[in-house]
């Protein structure tokens, strides 16, 4: 290969002809050891990288093992030959060999045509590239894959191409070949196409999705000059695969075979070009998932007089998974699987080998696609029964009996503590017995309900236990909910009475009898009533908790004593709870986690420490309670645990156990906990419908699983992952999670229809029930643990709270403005999940929906956590092919695409189309002339893609710097049409990241260690356009200061102070008057403080000086200098990645290569620019350690990364106190590497904008001159 005028060129170099090398290994002890040496040599050769410009692309070796044993090794790069070409080559060599060894006098062998010339192939391809057929082919593919369907592989996650792979080969059983050929004959399709269709179906089923795309190699040689040429002609065609279980198997096979025929008619259009057309270049965007490669042209190698076998050592780099079939289908057919080891374990590939053969065998007997069982019999037995062997004896008793046994066993032990007050078990016995007698007099008994609407207090626990002792079931109510919701719950549940404070009774329906604590029986000095209380039975209700309902009606989950007793007895035994331990109760009573918090202590003889009302929302207060009250056990929803770990006073806490449930536990949060405090961590899972929790996973410090599983079943419970026909799924395949066993709720109170819908007969254990959770899950192959994958129905969790979207929809349609409503939990901002409501106004309304009025309507009916973030008005609703609402097609909250006038002229119109293509903007309206690329959703990576498209179209590259400064269609068109288009890589010393009101003092952001300021893009947009972003207040411009040493001929100054002086000069050139606002992340914060000192010294006003997780040079001086590799790994943080998440990047080349291949703008820098970044990282670290801070006369605003630095307690905001007159401290629940990302910006921008606007002199009294080239916790410390 060489580089020509039009790009890479392939040419024939006689010097690189792969002449046969003969390697004599007969010196080894025997032919077998020689064969091992030959194999090792071949593997070494295969793993040796090839430079196509320098090295030969093919090699031929003959290893001599013994007198009559040889190994013929052929290796060809895919640039030189493909699989069919290799088969041609082998066959031709065999023909020539036969003619050479033919005995004299024998009849001549039939003449065979020689191999075709390469030049004919090249000429034919060149003609195609310029012809009309290519235009038609391209149009076919673009239409077929617009919009691009989701590409789902057989393994979760993504990986880069692997040069090594797991490879397995096995012949298909001979008894299977006949039925496969018969199926092909019956369908009237070629057997390779039928086999491809069945394997595609297997891939679809194992991916657990409704559709995917596989890759199918296309030989492309029939009727071509390449028919007998050894060259790379093969193309990979994307094949869309979609199916429903009731589709007939013959129809599916026929349709997919015909789809292959249609694809081959346009098969010369290169898949590489199609990726460009569809915007799939860069990073890990892919056109297809698994590759299915049927190669019927391979036949046993026939060398006259020689017994030969063919072994394929490898087929090249593996992106994901390649499933191959090699052979003629008559004599033999081998199944080959090659898998990327980053995605698949060797055990997983062994399982696929066995399962695919069973799948093919079942397919030959199936009438419909759904008839093919997804799991093998052995897998079904393991997952249904072996992993669910959880039987364990538990007393058939009640929660009431267990609590009363503790009261009798340890009367003098402390049962409850609350804000300095306490009750012993004897006192609890007395008070609850008295209240229970009162409740009995009001008609409370078995399976009757008592509403409890009390804040956390001693009275709350007295009330709950008293209800149980009266034989009834308690119904918790949250008085913070809207009155309409409370009234509806009371109407549905019909409690006998309510236990509520007098001052709160008015919040409940007037018809509901209330009993206030002041009216409870006075037990002081009076002998307790010894009359026996009725004993409930294990099947009687213990409590009812109402959850969000899909129809708008809340649904009451009724849990019996037997169920909760199993749960509590398992927990007591499994975790070894003992009398005297101290357990914190902080979960609101309306959430089921509170059940074990309330009662586990009371059945074990522990002390229950009750947190004050609202304390569960305050991490600092919780940390103080845990420390002062010597708490040993407590529970956190993961999102609250993250906030708790960000609280400085939580560091170093020692506890026995922390339990997490309510939402998915991220692996990073598990690791943060163990780095922050000393405690066991346990991940629990379970819905309210199954007595709180049904599975467990020890997330201890030695656990490194990703994702963290929900684990294994507790006593007497079962976890099933089933398909839509209630059959078990194989490990790794997503399916519906069902629960079985003793802990299932009795059902939904008063809703037999809903109970019958969700509580079903167990098809695998006759006479028992299972509950359909609505969650998606999969089994892990290695240990059978269950992994939670998300929700499958209309229910979601947001910040740990379960939300039925239907309840929000019902509230919306109750408005007189709304005829139809749908609600989604969207994730359009990279992890920032938000509720979005879609509404259609009533036909009789002439005006648009009044969004403000609609929000007020919702606020009166829904808790605040259920209020939509955005409301989108729709008149036309997207539907699927079968007429159902296509939720995936509902639009994101609208952007102002057609901003300003329409695009005019060729350049603007073409740019508008490119904006739409690169950003995936739907609809027929193109972006207007004033549409801003970044406002429309662009980021640094999509900016790189846009510039690539611009360069392809106009052969000009204005560069990232120009795009940052001129991001609108019209401004960028002017830059492209300019007489001189200077490439600007975005590395100038000063760049404008966003343009705002020029009358406002701009914000100058200083680069971190790598010298580049692009990472502040999100923050810049939010401040420049506050009406559309997260900030509030006036618009202002944002400029980025970048290191001059990014250029190879500009070394860094000799000190941070000298660097600060240069930067101040650049700032004053842009803004000569008014207060100067500075912000710096990491190293940029150190430079910002030095700049503020220099500005004050020169007599200039200094405004806000914000330091994003930056710490003074003092704290780094004692640290050892980073190694060159550590400095390089800092590039990962600059790219927005967590350096600790990629321990495999252990060399300079590995780091740089990872960035180049990944979805980061940093990786797309020119080579010399990336070298500049590496140089700046290294040199800046040296300057930081030499720097000594001077005191600044003003205020420093420090923003801490609250999720980080558990292993570096010296990194505290207070370290800046000696260097500023005052210190204003904030905290974001983020990692250091994410402090400039979209999520951090959403939290920081409003606060920062307010501080900027409040600066004296910030108002509209000056102009700046552009260069020519989560809730925050705050504290102010003097």
DSSP E strands, 955-1081: 990-994, 1003-1006, 1038-1041, 1076-1081
For residue 111, what are the CA distances in angstroms to 98, 302, 352?
12, 17, 44
Q: Are 809 and 885 in contact (CB under 8 A)?
A: no
**Per DSSP, what are the bridge partners of residue 722?**
728, 736
Helix (H, G, I), strand (E, B) or coil at 1227: strand
Length of the chain in terms of residues written: 1278
d(CA 1109, CA 1190): 19
Q: Which two tokens stand for residue 99?
A: 């003619």
* 605 contacts: CB under 8 Å, gap ≥ 6: 406, 409, 410, 413, 425, 578, 579, 580
The number of angstroms, rounded, from the C-alpha of 633 to the middle of its chain's C-alpha atoms is 30
Q: Is 1232 an active-site residue?
A: yes
Q: What angle do CA 277, 282, 284 make, to 5 degrees?
A: 110
Q: Which two tokens stand for residue 677?
A: 């405090």
b vs e for 1181-1197, b when ≥16 Cβ sit within 10 Å of the residue's Cβ? bebbeebebeebebbbb
Helix (H, G, I), strand (E, B) or coil at 1101: coil
For residue 655, what are the CA distances in angstroms to 414, 601, 678, 680, 999?
20, 16, 6, 8, 55
Phi and psi based region of residue 1099 (left: phi greater than 0; alpha: psi -120 to 50; beta: remaining)? left
The distance in angstroms from the start CA to the end CA of the chain is 68
* 360 contacts: CB under 8 Å, gap ≥ 6: 172, 176, 180, 195, 198, 199, 202
Q: Are 533 and 469 in contact (CB under 8 A)?
A: yes
**Per DSSP, what are the bridge partners of residue 1225?**
1198, 1275
Residue 410 main-chain phi, psi, to 5 deg: -140, 65
Q: Are 1198 and 1078 in contact (CB under 8 A)?
A: no
Q: Is the peptide bond before 106 cis (omega within 30 degrees of 0)?
A: no
d(CA 628, CA 587): 19
- Residue 271 burial (CB count, 10 A): 18
Q: Are 1120 and 1100 in contact (CB under 8 A)?
A: no
* 583 contacts: CB under 8 Å, gap ≥ 6: 597, 600, 601, 606, 607, 608, 609, 631, 632, 633, 634
Q: Which helix (H) or strand (E) holds 38?
A: helix 31-47
Q: Which two tokens stand for residue 1144?
A: 């495999």
Q: Which two tokens stand for residue 1154?
A: 């990872």
Q: Which two tokens stand for residue 1265?
A: 């001159």
The single residue of 1187, 1232, 1234, 1265 carrying the catalytic annotation is 1232
d(CA 587, CA 597): 8
Q: Which two tokens stand for residue 235?
A: 């193309």
* 42 contacts: CB under 8 Å, gap ≥ 6: 61, 71, 73, 75, 313
Q: Are 1240 and 1226 in contact (CB under 8 A)?
A: no
Check residue 507 and report its DSSP letter: G
User: Among all residues, which ones are annotated catalytic?
Assistant: 1232
């Amino acid at each position: 290969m060489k580089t020509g005028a039009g790009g890479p060129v392939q040419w024939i170099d006689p010097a690189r002809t792969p002449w046969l090398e003969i390697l004599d290994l007969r010196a080894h002890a025997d032919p077998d050891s020689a064969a091992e040496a030959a194999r090792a040599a071949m593997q070494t050769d295969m793993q040796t990288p090839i430079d196509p410009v320098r090295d030969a692309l093919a090699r031929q070796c003959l290893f001599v093992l013994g007198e009559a044993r040889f190994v013929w090794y052929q290796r060809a790069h895919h640039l030189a030959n493909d699989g069919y070409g290799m088969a041609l080559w082998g066959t031709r060599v065999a023909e020539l060999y036969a003619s050479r060894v033919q005995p004299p006098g024998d009849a001549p062998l039939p003449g065979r045509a020689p191999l075709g010339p390469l030049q004919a192939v090249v000429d034919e391809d060149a003609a195609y590239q310029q012809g009309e057929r290519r235009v038609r082919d391209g149009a076919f593919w673009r239409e077929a894959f617009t919009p691009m369907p989701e590409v789902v592989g057989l393994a979760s996650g993504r990986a880069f191409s692997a040069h090594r792979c797991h490879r397995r080969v096995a012949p298909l059983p001979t008894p299977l070949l006949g039925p496969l050929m018969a199926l092909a004959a019956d369908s009237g399709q070629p057997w390779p196409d039928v086999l491809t269709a069945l394997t595609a179906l297997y891939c679809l089923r194992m991916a657990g999705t409704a559709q995917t795309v596989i890759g199918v190699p296309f030989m492309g040689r029939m009727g071509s000059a390449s028919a007998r040429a050894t060259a790379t002609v093969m193309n990979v065609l994307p094949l869309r695969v979609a199916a429903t279980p009731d589709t007939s198997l013959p129809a599916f096979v026929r349709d997919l075979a015909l789809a292959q025929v249609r694809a081959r008619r346009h098969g010369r259009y290169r898949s590489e070009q199609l990726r460009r057309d569809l915007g799939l270049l860069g990073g890990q965007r892919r056109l297809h998932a698994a590759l299915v490669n049927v190669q019927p042209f391979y036949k046993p190698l026939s060398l006259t007089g020689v017994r030969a076998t063919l072994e394929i050592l490898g087929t090249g780099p593996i992106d994901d998974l390649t499933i191959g079939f090699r052979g003629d289908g008559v004599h033999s057919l081998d199944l080959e699987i090659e898998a990327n080891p980053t995605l698949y374990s060797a055990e997983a590939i062994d399982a696929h080998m066995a399962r695919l053969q069973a799948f093919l065998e079942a397919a030959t007997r199936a009438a419909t696609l759904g008839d093919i069982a997804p799991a093998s019999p052995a897998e079904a037995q393991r997952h249904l029964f072996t992993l669910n062997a959880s039987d364990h004896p538990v007393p058939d008793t009640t929660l009431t009996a267990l609590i009363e046994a503790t009261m009798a066993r340890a009367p003098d032990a402390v049962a409850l503590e609350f804000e300095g007050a306490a009750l012993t078990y004897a006192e609890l016995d007395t008070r609850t017995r008295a209240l229970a007698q009162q409740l009995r007099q009001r008609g409370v008994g078995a399976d009757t309900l008592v509403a409890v609407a009390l804040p956390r207090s001693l009275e709350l626990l007295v009330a709950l236990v008293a209800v149980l002792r009266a034989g009834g079931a308690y119904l918790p109510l949250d008085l913070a909910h809207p009155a309409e919701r409370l009234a509806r719950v009371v109407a549905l549940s019909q409690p006998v009475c309510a236990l509520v404070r007098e001052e709160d009774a008015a919040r409940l329906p007037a018809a509901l009898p209330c009993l206030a604590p002041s009216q409870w029986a006075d037990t002081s000095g009076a002998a307790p009533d010894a009359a026996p209380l009725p004993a409930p039975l294990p099947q009687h209700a213990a409590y009812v908790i109402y959850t969000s309902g899909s129809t708008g009606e809340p649904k009451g989950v009724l849990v019996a004593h037997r169920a909760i007793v199993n749960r509590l007895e398992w927990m007591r035994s499994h975790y070894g709870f003992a009398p005297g331990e101290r357990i914190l109760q902080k979960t609101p009573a309306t959430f089921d986690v509170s059940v074990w918090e309330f009662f586990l202590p009371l059945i074990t003889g522990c002390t229950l420490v009750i947190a004050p009302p609202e304390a569960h929302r305050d991490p600092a207060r919780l940390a103080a309670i845990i420390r002062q009250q010597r708490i040993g056990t407590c529970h956190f929803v993961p999102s609250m645990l993250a906030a708790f770990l960000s609280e400085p006073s939580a560091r170093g806490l020692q506890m026995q156990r922390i339990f997490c449930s309510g939402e998915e536990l991220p692996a990073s949060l598990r690791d943060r906990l163990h780095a922050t405090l000393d405690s066991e961590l346990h991940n629990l899972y379970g819905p309210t419908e199954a007595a709180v929790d049904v599975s467990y996973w020890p997330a201890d410090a030695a656990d490194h699983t990703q994702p963290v599983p929900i684990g294994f079943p507790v006593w007497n419970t079962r976890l099933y992952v089933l398909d839509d026909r209630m059959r078990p799924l194989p490990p790794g395949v997503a399916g519906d999670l069902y629960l079985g066993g003793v802990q299932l709720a009795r059902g939904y109170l008063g809703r037999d229809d809903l109970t019958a819908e969700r509580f079903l007969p167990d098809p695998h254990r006759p006479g028992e029930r299972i509950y359909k959770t609505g969650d998606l899950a999969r089994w892990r192959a290695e240990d059978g643990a269950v992994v939670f994958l998300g929700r499958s129905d209309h229910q979601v969790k947001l910040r740990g709270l379960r939300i039925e979207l239907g309840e929000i929809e019902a509230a919306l349609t109750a408005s007189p403005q709304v005829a139809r409503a749908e609600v989604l939990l969207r994730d359009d901002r990279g992890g920032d999940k938000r509720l979005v409501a879609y509404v259609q106004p009533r036909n009789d309304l002439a005006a648009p929906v009044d969004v403000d009025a609609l929000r007020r309507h919702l606020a009166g009916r829904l808790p605040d956590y259920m209020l939509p973030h955005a409301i989108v008005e729709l008149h036309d609703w997207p539907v699927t092919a079968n007429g159902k609402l296509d939720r995936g097609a509902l639009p994101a909250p609208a952007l102002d695409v057609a901003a300003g006038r329409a695009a005019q002229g060729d350049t603007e119109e073409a740019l508008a189309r490119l904006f739409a293509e690169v950003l995936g903007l739907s609809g027929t309206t193109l972006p207007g002339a004033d549409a801003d690329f970044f406002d429309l959703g662009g980021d640094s990576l999509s900016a790189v893609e846009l510039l690539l498209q611009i360069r392809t179209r106009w052969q000009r590259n204005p560069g990232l710097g120009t795009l940052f400064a001129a991001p609108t269609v019209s401004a960028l068109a002017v830059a492209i049409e300019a007489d001189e288009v200077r490439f600007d890589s975005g590395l100038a010393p000063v760049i404008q990241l966003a343009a705002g009101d020029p009358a406002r003092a701009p914000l100058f952001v200083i680069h971190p260690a790598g010298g580049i300021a692009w990472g502040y893009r999100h923050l810049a947009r939010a401040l420049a356009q506050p009406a559309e972003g997260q900030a509030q207040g006036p618009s202002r411009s944002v400029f980025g200061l970048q290191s001059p040493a990014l250029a190879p001929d500009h070394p860094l100054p000799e000190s941070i102070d000298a660097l600060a002086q240069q930067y101040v000069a650049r700032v004053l050139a842009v803004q000569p008057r008014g207060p100067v606002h500075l912000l710096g992340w990491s190293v940029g914060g150190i430079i910002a403080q030095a700049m503020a000192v220099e500005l004050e010294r020169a007599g200039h006003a200094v405004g806000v000086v914000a330091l994003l997780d930056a710490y003074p040079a003092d704290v780094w001086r004692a640290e050892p200098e980073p190694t060159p590799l550590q400095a390089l790994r800092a590039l990962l943080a600059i790219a927005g990645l967590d350096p600790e998440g990629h321990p495999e990047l252990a060399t300079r080349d590995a780091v740089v290569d990872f960035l180049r291949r990944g979805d980061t703008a940093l990786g797309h820098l020119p080579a010399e620019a990336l070298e500049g970044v590496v140089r700046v990282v290294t040199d800046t670290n040296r300057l930081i350690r030499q720097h000594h801070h001077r005191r600044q006369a003003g205020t420093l605003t420090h923003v801490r990364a609250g999720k980080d630095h558990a292993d570096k307690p010296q990194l505290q905001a207070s370290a800046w106190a000696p260097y500023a007159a005052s210190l204003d401290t904030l905290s974001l629940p983020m990692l250091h590497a994410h402090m400039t990302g979209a999520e951090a910006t959403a939290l920081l921008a409003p606060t920062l904008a307010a501080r900027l606007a409040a600066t004296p002199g910030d108002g509209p009294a000056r102009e700046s001159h552009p260069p020519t080239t989560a809730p925050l916790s705050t504290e102010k410390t003097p």
